[in-house]
Amino acid sequence: MSRPVSSEPAESSDRLAEQLLRLTRRLHHAQKAAFRPLGLTPAQSRLLRTVGAHGRHGEAPRMADLARQLEVVPRAVTTLVDALEERGAVRRAQDPDNRRVVLIELTDEGHAILGRLRQARQSAAEGILEGLTQEQRVQLGGLLSTLVDEPENGS
């Protein structure tokens, strides 16, 4: 019942899962080290980057927007924003149209951090991907995109 040959789809999926886990654990290690000088944890950096992405489109995101985009519960965002606010990278602002809503705005400090953060993020990512050629990275990106990226329009 435990055949040495294992070419069934299920078995290979399971192996893929282990490989994904390993790779992501290494990424986390690399990010932890790369972000420490900036005073940020990986999850905080991820949130800050998302806030920055919103900023480029002109609008400050709400807590709920961030939770949805990061695929975490709103409660998790509260903790991260608390930390980033204490770090001076973001500030909470009220939405004049709806007083329940909390908008997350990037501070000047946050903007400065984002610049340095980009390099740190990229060097951490490079660290774990250095075994792949450029072509292989594109291939990997395409496969992952199929799995995790949301379709463009939601009509």
Partner DNA sequence: TATTGTTATACTCTATAACTATA
Partner DNA sequence: TATAGTTATAGAGTATAACAATA
> Considering only CA atoms, which of 56, 67, 63, 75 is closest in space to residue 114?
56
Residue (131 or 154) nearer to a copy of itself, CB: 131
Residue 33, CA distances (Å) to 29, 57, 65, 87 in order: 6, 30, 28, 18
Figure out which of the listed residues 34, 54, 62, 106 binds DNA, where binding follows CB under 7 A: 62
Figure out which of the listed residues 15, 49, 92, 111 binds DNA, where binding follows CB under 7 A: 92
Burial of 90 (0-12, 13-18, 19+ CB in 10 A): buried
> Considering only CA atoms, which of 94, 62, 95 is closest in space to residue 81?
62
- Binding-residue total with a copy of itself (CB under 8 A): 50
Binding site for DNA (CB under 7 A): 25, 29, 41-44, 62-64, 70-81, 92, 98-102
Binding site for a copy of itself (CB under 8 A): 1-2, 9-27, 31, 46, 56, 71, 115, 118, 121-122, 124-126, 128-129, 131-132, 134, 136-141, 143-149
